Amino acid sequence: MYKNAKPILEANEDSITWLKGENSNLILKTRAKTIVCLPHIASLVVPGKTLIGAENPKEKFIELTKDMVTGPPRIITGKNFIKGPGTVIGIEGFNYSVTEKGISKFPHFGGVIIGDNVEIGANTCVERGALGDTFIGDDTKINNLVHIGHNVKIGKRCLIVAQSGIGGSCVIGDEVYIGFGCTVKNGITIGDHAFIGMGAIVLKDVPAGEVWVGNPAKKLEKP
């Protein structure tokens, strides 16, 4: 019987997890013994694993974990952490599934980990992770009125300017600059040393070292 819920590659033997999509190789890589997945994947015989098939694995996972206690958000802060007034760290994220039965909220078991010398301005929101943790790396500075979604991973020495929104599960590399009023779609990866210009709407992954601007954001070519 499972005792906790974790992302598929961070799970332990006591975890329940779910497989998003068709990559059945992850079932062999995970330490979890209970995995919710698509029916044709659940038909596989994997010793030591209990595979639960569902046409909507995410919704089935929500059903199976609805009675598990999420508990207060775990928040770890490093040295010299500065937080502005009105900033909230560890609130649950916005993650819902719409089905014929209604709207289901995805559980949030994760926390927030903040590195050393991080500054977060006023009235900013940093959501706790759903299954893993939201992470902000050393020496990163985040301005006022910024939204950091659940499961976001931000690297070291990043600068994120006011009124920007980082969607859930984004991965931001080291020394990335995100200008005033930018929006980064959930699940996007931005490489190290990238520069996102003011007001950009980022809908695609940004390679390391590139400058992206506009709506939708595109690489700024050198003249």
Could you list the pLDDT tens digit for every one of the 223 residues in the chain?
788 999 999 999 999 999 999 999 999 999 999 999 999 999 988 899 999 999 999 999 999 998 887 778 789 999 999 999 999 999 999 988 887 778 888 999 999 999 999 999 999 999 999 999 999 999 999 999 999 999 999 999 999 999 999 999 999 999 999 999 999 999 999 999 999 999 999 999 999 999 999 999 999 987 5
Q: Give residue limits of the domains in the chain.
A: 4-65, 75-219
Identify the CA nearest to 197 among candidates 208, 183, 187, 186: 183
Beta bridge partners of 34: 16, 50
Residue 71 pLDDT: 79
- Give catalytic status of residue 150 as yes or no: yes
CATH ID of 75-219, from 2.160.10.10, 3.30.465.10, 3.50.50.60, 3.40.50.300: 2.160.10.10
Tokens representing 221 are: 């070519």
CA torsion through residues 104, 105, 109, 115, sign: positive
Compute CA 156 distance to the chain's CA centroid, rounded to the nearest angstrom. Answer: 17
Residue tagged active-site, from 40, 108, 147, 150: 150
Residue 5 to residue 172: CA distance in whole angstroms: 25
Helix/strand/coil for 201: strand
Residue 223 pLDDT: 55
* pTM strictly above 0.85: yes
The backbone region for 164, taken as left when phi is positive above 0, alpha when psi lies in -120 to 50, beta otherwise, is: beta
The one-letter amino acid at 218: K
Element (H, E) at 41: helix 39-42
- The separation between the first and the last C-alpha atoms of the chain, rounded to the nearest angstrom, is 61
Residue 49 pLDDT: 93
Helix/strand/coil for 57: helix
CATH ID of 4-65, from 3.40.50.620, 3.40.640.10, 3.40.1390.10, 2.60.40.3680: 3.40.1390.10
- Which residue's entry shows tokens 């207060």? 72
